Each structure stands twice: as C-alpha cells, then as structure tokens.
C-alpha cells in the first residue's frame, strides 16, 4: 500500500489532497476508515489543527482532501493522516510535507477567483474600462465576495464542494460562473446609479429600466449556464428566481414612471 500527495493548493485556505493506492498494482482504494488529519507545524510535532469527521472529504475512490486554515507566515507544514486500511487492521499514519510560499493577506481573500486577471474579464464582459469600473469596486464585499458566496451556496445546494472543482475540467466553468455573477451584481448597481444621476423623461426611464433589467438577467443566465456545465450540478431552477423569489421578467410594470 502507498499513500501519495496529489497536490496542495494554497489560497486563502490550504487544500491538501491525498491518494491511497495498492503498492503491488497501483490501483486506487478507499481505506476502511480515516479517523483524523493533523496539521503539524514546521517542527513536525506541534499540532496546529485537527480535522476529522465530515471535514475529511472523499472526492472519489481512493482520493481524499481536507481544507486547512491559512498560515500567517511562509513555512513548511505537515499533514498527518490517521487511517485504518481494512476491517480489523491496525490504524496507521502517513505524514506529508507542504511548503507554504504564499500566505493570506490582512483583508478578505478570494476563494474562487484567485488570480487578478479576473477583474479584466469582468470589465470586458461589462464593456467598461478601469476608469468606469476600478478594481476597488469589483473587490468590494458586494462585488466578488458576494458573488463567490452565491456561487458556492448554489454548489452546496447541489451537494457539490467548490474546493474539489478549483482544478480540472470544471474549474473554468466555476470561475466564469463567479465572474458573470459579479457582472450581474455590478450591472444592477450601475443601473441604479445612472437612474439617480440622470433625470430622464418617463418614456426614456421605462426603456432604460427594461434594457438594464435584460442586461442584468442575461448575466444571471450566464451564471446558470456555467454552473450547469459543472459535472454533477443538477439544479434546474434559475438563480435569478432564487434571489428575487419570482419569475424572471423584463416587461415594464403598469403605472411605473420616472421618479423625477
């Protein structure tokens, strides 16, 4: 039997993946039980964190991962796995090394969109430059932070774990879902800001509302389209319906008029 590290992904969390294989054949297998995983400090003795129960996630046959808390300073840490290979066998341990080069910053750190290039994609999708849509606006809590939370909540509702999708074939769909979610949120804010700043005649106001509403809904549709492309995602109800609690529409409501 062999235990191998698949990878360790460092972001605002440390994702530690492990594979269990039969030494003779190299085939993957799932052990009878994994009781806990200890995250050890650089001395390989001091326990920084203990992970157990449902927090030890079985991705597929023989493949597991845990999510450890961020580390404040760059250093080498260790993840020590306690497992029982088969019924009646003695519990054994395997320890892996993880070198942490990057650490979490003082502020919030993105969970899905970890590369700064995502902000240029958001601007491209919205047709705005960095003057009209600066980084600070995208990085606000009601921008990327809220967008990622909405996407992650949808995955949870579909019994999926976002950390298992950060890599592989579905990772692009996950990132694009979060990007389009930012666009939808910011599109609504942009529309509200323009309504407040521009005194429009009634007919222009109504047309503006319809156009902006359709643009926002198009972004929500793109969120759903990308989420539905993720393996195992089976939710059919549109995200916009969940958020608003109503059916999606771009029709003007009767009796509405410009507030000016």
Q: Check which CATH number belongs to the domain holding 80 and give it.
A: 2.60.40.1940
Burial classification of residue 63, based on how many CB atoms lie within 10 Å of its CB (0-12 exposed, 13-18 middle, 19 or more buried): middle
Q: Quote the pLDDT of residue 197.
A: 43
Residue with tokens 């009634």: 202
Runs of H (alpha helix) within 117-170 = 118-126, 135-138, 146-157
Answer whether residue 29 is part of any domain. Answer: yes
Secondary-structure breakdown of the chain: helix, strand, coil percentages, each rounded to the nearest 5: 35, 25, 40
Question: Residue 93: what pLDDT?
Answer: 94
Residues 35 and 151 in one domain: no
Residue with tokens 């260790």: 78
Q: Are residues 67 and 135 in the same domain?
A: no
Tell me how far apart the alpha carbons of residues 12 and 7 are, in angstroms, rounded to a whole number.
Answer: 16
| The two three-digit tokens of residue 178, written as one number | 């979060």
Residues 127 and 174 in one domain: yes
Rounded to two decimals, what is the model's pTM?
0.52
Residues 6 or more apart whose Cβ sits within 8 Å of residue 55: 66, 67
Q: How far is CA 23 from CA 4, 79, 103, in A?
A: 11, 21, 35
Regarding whether 180 and 133 lie in a shared domain, the answer is yes
CB-based burial of residue 165 (10 Å sphere; 0-12 exposed, 13-18 middle, 19+ buried)? buried
Q: Which residues pair with 36 in a beta bridge?
A: 52, 82
Local confidence pLDDT in tens for the 260 residues of the chain: 555 555 555 555 677 778 888 776 788 889 999 999 999 999 999 999 999 988 899 888 888 988 888 776 778 889 999 999 999 999 999 998 887 755 544 445 688 998 889 999 999 998 888 888 899 889 888 889 899 989 988 888 888 888 888 888 899 999 999 999 999 988 876 544 444 445 545 545 454 455 566 888 899 999 999 999 999 998 877 766 655 543 333 333 333 332 22
Is 109 among the domain residues? no
Query: Does residue 108 lie within any of the structural domains?
Result: no
Pair 240, 127 in one domain:
yes
> Do 92 and 128 fall within a single domain?
no
**Residues 129, 239 share a domain:** yes
Nearest to 180 by CA among 237, 113, 246: 113
In this prediction, residue 193 carries a pLDDT of 42
Looking at residue 212, its pLDDT comes to 62
* Strands of 33-40's sheet in order across: 47-52, 33-40, 75-84, 92-100
Q: Is 11:3 a contact under the CB 8 Å cutoff?
A: no
Residue 158 belongs to what domain range? 118-244
Number of independent structural domains in the chain? 2
E strands along the chain, which residues?
2-10, 14-21, 33-40, 47-52, 57-60, 63-68, 75-84, 92-100
Cα–Cα distance, 141 to 108 (Å, whole number) = 9
Q: Which residues of 23-56 are buried (b: 16+ CB within 10 A; e: fewer)?
A: eeeeeeeebeebebbbbbeeeeeeeeeebeeeeb
Residues 141 and 23 in one domain: no
């Amino acid at each position: 039997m062999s235990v191998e590290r698949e990878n360790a992904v460092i972001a605002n969390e440390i994702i530690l993946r492990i594979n269990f294989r039969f030494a003779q054949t190299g085939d993957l297998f799932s052990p009878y039980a994994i009781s806990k995983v200890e995250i050890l400090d650089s001395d390989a003795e001091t326990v920084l964190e203990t992970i157990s129960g449902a927090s030890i996630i079985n991705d597929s046959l023989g493949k597991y991962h845990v999510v450890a808390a961020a580390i404040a300073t760059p250093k080498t840490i260790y993840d020590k796995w306690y497992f029982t290979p088969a019924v009646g066998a003695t519990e054994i341990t395997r320890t892996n090394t993880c070198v942490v080069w990057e650490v979490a910053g003082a502020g919030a750190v993105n969970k899905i969109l970890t590369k700064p290039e995502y902000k240029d994609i958001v601007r491209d999708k919205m047709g705005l430059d960095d003057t009209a849509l600066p980084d600070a606006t995208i990085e606000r809590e009601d921008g990327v932070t809220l967008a990622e939370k909405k996407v992650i909540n949808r995955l949870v509702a579909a019994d999926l774990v976002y950390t298992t999708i950060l890599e592989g074939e579905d990772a692009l769909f996950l990132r694009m879902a979060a990007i389009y979610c930012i666009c939808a949120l910011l599109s609504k804010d942009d529309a509200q800001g323009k309504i407040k700043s521009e005194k429009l005649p009634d007919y222009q106001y109504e047309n503006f509302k319809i156009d902006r509403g359709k643009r926002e809904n198009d972004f929500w549709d793109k969120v759903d389209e990308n989420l539905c492309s993720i393996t195992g995602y089976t939710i059919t109800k549109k995200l916009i319906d969940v958020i608003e609690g109503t059916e999606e529409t771009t029709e003007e409501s009767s009796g509405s008029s410009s507030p000016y």
